[in-house]
Structures are given as C-alpha cells and as structure tokens.
Amino acid sequence: MGFLRSVNLSLQFAEWLAKQSRRKDLIGSKARSVRSDPCWPQDATDYLSYRNHLRIDHADHSITRITTLDSAWEEFGRFQADYLIPVKKGKW
C-alpha cells in the first residue's frame, strides 16, 4: 500500500527560498537578497507575482536575476512534486 511522505505541503515559495540562503550558488544569493527586501511578496502564490516584483517594483530587468528566479521556481516545483508521489512500502 502506498503512502504520502510526511512533509509540510503548505510551504510557500518565499519560505522555501528563504531556506536556501546557505547555498553557494545563484539561488542562495537570491535567497539572501530577498531577506533585505521589505517589499518581497511573501504571501504570493504564483510565479508572476515574484517576477513582476523584480520587473516593476525594482525595475530589475537583469536576465541573470530573472533566470535565477526561473531556476528557483522550477526547483521549488520539483521539491513539491517529490513529496506528492506515493511511495510504496516493501517490494515493488
């Protein structure tokens, strides 16, 4: 019989990103930069809210920053998907 792994599926992107701050890559750098951004959309639930924040609120059109956000969003999606796949006990 399958079961779902125990994990907090209500984890939002902003919370997930904050947990990446110790990474030594661009996603870690993005996580550290949003900590000091008082306007970062903490409660947003969709990608466009974060992207628009970069483009509108900060006039940030840097392809690296947008690409980093894209990568982080995709990784977050994979993180969520990993915990939604049923896992069987015992032999397959």
The count of structural domains within the chain is 1
Q: Which two tokens stand for residue 59?
A: 């006039």
User: What is the rounded distance in angstroms from the CA atom of residue 78 to the CA atom of residue 76?
Assistant: 5
Domain that includes residue 71, residue range: 25-85
Structural domain includes residue 5: no
pLDDT of the residue at 64 = 81
Q: What is the pLDDT of residues 27-65, one digit of tens each?
A: 999 999 988 888 899 888 889 999 888 887 665 567 788
Identify the H or E element spanning 88.
Answer: strand 87-88
User: What is the rounded distance in angstroms from the CA atom of residue 21 to the CA atom of residue 31?
Assistant: 5
Mean per-residue pLDDT, 17-30: 95
Structural domain includes residue 90: no
pLDDT of the residue at 29 = 93
Structural domain includes residue 10: no
Structural domain includes residue 15: no
